Amino acid sequence: MKPGIKPIHVLSYYLMIFTIIMIVQVIISFLIFILGSPEYYNVPDKQVAQTSGDCGFYAEIVVMLFDLVLGVIFDVFGRKIPTVAGLIVAGISLIITPYFSTIYPSFLIIRIFMSLGTIPALNTPLLPDYLFDQSLGLGSAYQFIVSAAAAVFSTTGLLEIKKNEDIKWIFIGIGTYSICVGIFLIFTIKEMNQIEKSSRENKKALKQKLRKTITEFVVSFKEDAGFFVAMFGSFCVKLTALTCSLFGSLLIIANEKNSGNPDYQNDAQTKIQYIFLIGNVLQVPFCLVLGYLSDKTRMWYLLASASAGVIILSTITLLSKIVKKESRGTLFSVYSLAGSVGVLLINKLGGYLYDNVAHEWPFLLTLISFSVFFIVTLILGFMNKLKV
């Protein structure tokens, strides 16, 4: 850990990661259940994917606009204020979700604020602020393990709760927990970069910071192809995560329903539980080894394996190692923006293809994106264009 950083700072960072991943899993996995529930939004089964995709599409457009200024917000106002505010906004959005019944505009507005609330915590560059470069690989591996633990709890524990309790208590419970964690982080997030007070107070200075941000972004891409690989990796990872969590769950439910099973909802949820549980548990030892290797070898060797788990961990580590300290907020927000493009694509196009063409098409899009990423990474690696 860097001077001035205590274990409580790092542990609170991992607590934040656990919380935000759990919120994301609720958004991806449980919104489809509350949308289709007769007691709440009562969307027909055949329209759930399209409705969820459309609302996710519009939410992601707003997120992309937010991503454009998120880096400036991090660099000007620090990490604490946006992160804490985001968790509180996401928590409030979850709590009020069960108390509305119309898709437009009520659910759409709530869905937008849910997404906006998760973005700061998902992309805050606190880990490279806290750890030295030579420890970032293992630090990122621990982050991925915490994320896996959150996903396990969300896809097993929360699904088990859903079988016995009204789904609204999941939204209220996780929303309340998110707000409490946000308040706790007020006291445990350590600001490592000096906040530019003059930029807060001076509109002209803020515009100058934005111009500088754009310049840094362009120069970084020209100097190091690793930035392009990291951004493309973010695109693939976000696209894959949504495909597996949303369309994977919908596919399991559809298969159970088509089999004529009268209790298809509960049986489908049980299968979803076990699949995600096994997948996340198997990731833990794999990520520890990968985190160790990422501190000992060149990153593109790992990236070229074209595994989703490798890409999400390695691209974050890659970005953390090559980005300059004063530009971390900026380029981490661009990383988020690249991922938002993947979410945007799979939400709109994937939802349409799933409902109107074939259930397999969202997964085919994912396969294509990974194939292209694999080829591009290999080419840049063998051409010695990747510095780490």
Lowest-confidence segment of 22-26, 205-209, 377-381 by average pLDDT = 205-209
Q: If we measure between CA atoms, which residue out of 60, 19, 126 comes closest to residue 338?
A: 60
Q: Which residue has the tokens 């397999």?
A: 360
Query: Does any domain span residue 323?
Result: yes
Predicted local confidence at residue 354, as pLDDT: 82
pTM of the model: 0.71
Number of folded domains that form the chain? 1
Query: Does any domain span residue 273?
Result: yes
Q: Tens digits of per-residue pLDDT, 139-187? A: 877 887 888 888 888 877 887 788 788 999 999 999 999 999 999 999 9
Q: Alpha-carbon distance 130 to 359, whole Å?
A: 43
What does the radius of gyration of the chain's CA atoms come to, in whole angstroms?
Answer: 20
> Is the peptide bond preceding residue 285 cis, with omega within 30 degrees of 0?
no
Query: Does any domain span residue 1?
Result: no
Predicted local confidence at residue 67, as pLDDT: 77
Query: Does any domain span residue 248?
Result: yes
Buried b (16+ CB within 10 A) or exposed e, 210-249: beebeebbeebeeebbbbbbbbbbbbbbbbbbbbbbbbbb
Query: Does any domain span residue 388?
Result: no
Query: Does any domain span residue 158?
Result: yes
Q: Tens digits of per-residue pLDDT, 315-337? A: 666 666 666 665 666 666 677 77
Domain of 319 in residue numbering reads as 7-190+198-382
| Backbone region of residue 165 per phi and psi (left: phi > 0; alpha: psi in -120 to 50; beta: other values) | beta
How large is the angle between the packed helices 328-345 and 108-123, nearest 10 degrees? Answer: 140
Domain of 41, CATH number, reads: 1.20.1250.20
Q: If we measure between CA atoms, which residue out of 119, 127, 120 comes closest to residue 144?
A: 127
- pLDDT bucket at 87, cuts 50 / 70 / 90: very high
**Residue 89: strand, helix, or coil:** helix
Query: Does any domain span residue 387?
Result: no
Q: Tens digits of per-residue pLDDT, 92-120? A: 999 999 999 899 999 999 999 999 999 89
